[in-house]
């Protein structure tokens, strides 16, 4: 149906209106970079046309060539028919001002830790220049490891994941950013390949979706690697292992920062003795916790 409309759509404005209508009609789910049909449609159109992503207005009434119109309608068709997240269609995802190569070997990056790294984890890290070693556990596409490298310029970083396929994507991103001398890619099931390593900072955005939520995921999320999302019945399987093992991999002044989705209440019930510090993000203070080395030991 989308391709059949080709002869009646002439300008970017026409295609934008058509795309929003089709997205809304199909009840698409937005959670991989855009939050609504208009923003996602504008992104896909501008990206396909190799136009600046922040300059829609000057081009709205530009007429399209037949080839351009077909390219846009093809990508809209895939988004609607196959429910493929936009990031997989364009092989691009953004965290703040940084873009990363993405394909279906990794989940689409979306992490509140990225926001926190922009402030160099202030005030919990007083001297960012003193961070010399850091770990990104469950690195996926390597995006948080790359952001850490920019936030802590003296740090050498290990980017760890259990998936060799994910690490191939991480390697490409690290290489694209020219950071192969500071970021080491390691295949490991959490800390298993790091027996003697200690770090000033460990961050992790591990799998944290519980079994009930996994069963109800929108179709868009089913294009992502399930082992990067699912974490047991209660969503805490990976987080429990991190809490058990993190202390031995932190320096005396080291800190652990972990993102856990909507699991704050169940985590606090499971570990009433741990004095979690919940970090403020754009969505509130329920999603990312911080613990110091001494707190994990106690």
The rounded distance, in Å, linking the Cα atoms of 182 and 200 is 15
Would you give the end-to-end CA distance of the chain in angstroms?
62
Pairing label, strands 199-204, 250-259: parallel
Tell me the CATH number for domain 3-90: 1.10.8
Give residue 8's pLDDT.
Answer: 84
Q: What predicted TM-score, i.e. pTM, was given to this entire model?
A: 0.93
Give residue 298's pLDDT.
Answer: 79
DSSP 139: -
Give the pair of three-digit tokens for residue 272.
């009433």
Could you give the angle at the alpha carbon of 50 between the alpha carbons of 44 and 51, nearest 5°?
Answer: 85
Give residue 5's pLDDT.
Answer: 64
Task: Determine the 3-state secondary structure of 203 from DSSP.
Answer: strand
DSSP per-residue codes, 245-295: HGGGGEEEEEEEEEE-TT-HHHHHHH-TTS-PEEPPBTTBSSSEEEEEHHH
Give residue 33's pLDDT.
Answer: 85
Give the pair of three-digit tokens for residue 48.
């396909």
pLDDT values of the chain reduced to their tens digit, one per residue, 298 residues:
566 666 789 999 999 999 999 999 999 999 888 999 999 999 999 999 999 999 999 999 999 999 999 999 999 999 999 999 999 999 999 998 999 999 999 999 999 999 999 999 999 999 999 999 999 999 999 999 999 999 999 999 999 999 999 999 999 999 999 999 999 999 999 999 998 899 999 999 999 999 999 999 999 999 999 999 999 999 999 999 999 999 999 999 999 999 999 999 999 999 999 999 999 999 889 999 999 999 999 7
The rounded distance, in Å, linking the Cα atoms of 293 and 250 is 6
The rounded distance, in Å, linking the Cα atoms of 134 and 220 is 32
Give residue 1's pLDDT.
Answer: 58
What values do phi and psi take at 187, rounded to 5?
-85, 120
Whether residue 18 contacts residue 77, with contact meaning beta carbons closer than 8 Å, is answered with no
Fold of 107-297: Rossmann fold (3.40.50)
Cis amide prior to 254 (ω within 30 degrees) = no
Whether residue 160 contacts residue 100, with contact meaning beta carbons closer than 8 Å, is answered with no
| Residue ranges per structural domain of the chain | 3-90, 107-297
Give residue 140's pLDDT.
Answer: 97
* Helical segments of 162-255, H only: 164-176, 211-215, 237-245
Give the pair of three-digit tokens for residue 51.
């136009």
- Calculate the alpha carbon distances from 161 to 71, 74, 106, 204, 298 in Å: 35, 34, 11, 10, 28
């Amino acid at each position: 149906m989308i391709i059949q409309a080709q002869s009646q759509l002439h300008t970017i404005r026409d295609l934008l209106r058509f795309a929003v209508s089709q997205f809304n009609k199909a009840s698409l789910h937005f959670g991989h970079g855009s939050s609504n049909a208009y923003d996602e449609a504008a992104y896909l159109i501008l990206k396909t046309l190799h136009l600046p992503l922040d300059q829609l207005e000057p081009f709205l009434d530009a007429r399209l060539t037949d080839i351009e119109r077909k390219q846009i309608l093809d990508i809209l068709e895939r988004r609607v028919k196959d429910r493929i997240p936009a990031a997989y269609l364009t092989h691009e995802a953004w965290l703040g001002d940084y873009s990363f190569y993405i394909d279906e070997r990794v989940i689409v990056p979306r992490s509140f830790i990225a926001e926190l790294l922009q402030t160099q984890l202030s005030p919990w890290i007083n001297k960012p220049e003193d961070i010399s070693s850091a770990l990104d556990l469950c690195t996926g596409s390597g995006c948080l490891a790359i952001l850490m490298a920019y936030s802590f310029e003296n740090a050498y970083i290990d980017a760890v994941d259990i998936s060799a396929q994910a690490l191939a994507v991480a390697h490409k991103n690290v290489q694209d950013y020219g950071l192969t001398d500071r970021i080491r890619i390691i295949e490991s099931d959490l800390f298993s390949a790091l027996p003697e390593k200690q770090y000033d900072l460990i961050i992790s955005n591990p799998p944290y979706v519980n079994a009930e939520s996994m069963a109800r995921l929108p179709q868009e999320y089913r294009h992502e690697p399930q082992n990067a999302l699912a974490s047991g019945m209660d969503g805490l399987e990976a987080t429990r292992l991190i809490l058990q093992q993190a202390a031995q991999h932190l320096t005396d002044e080291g800190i652990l920062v972990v993102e856990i989705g909507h699991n704050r209440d169940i985590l606090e019930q499971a570990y009433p003795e741990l004095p979690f510090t919940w970090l403020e993000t754009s969505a509130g203070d329920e999603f990312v916790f911080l613990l110091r080395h001494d707190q994990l030991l106690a």
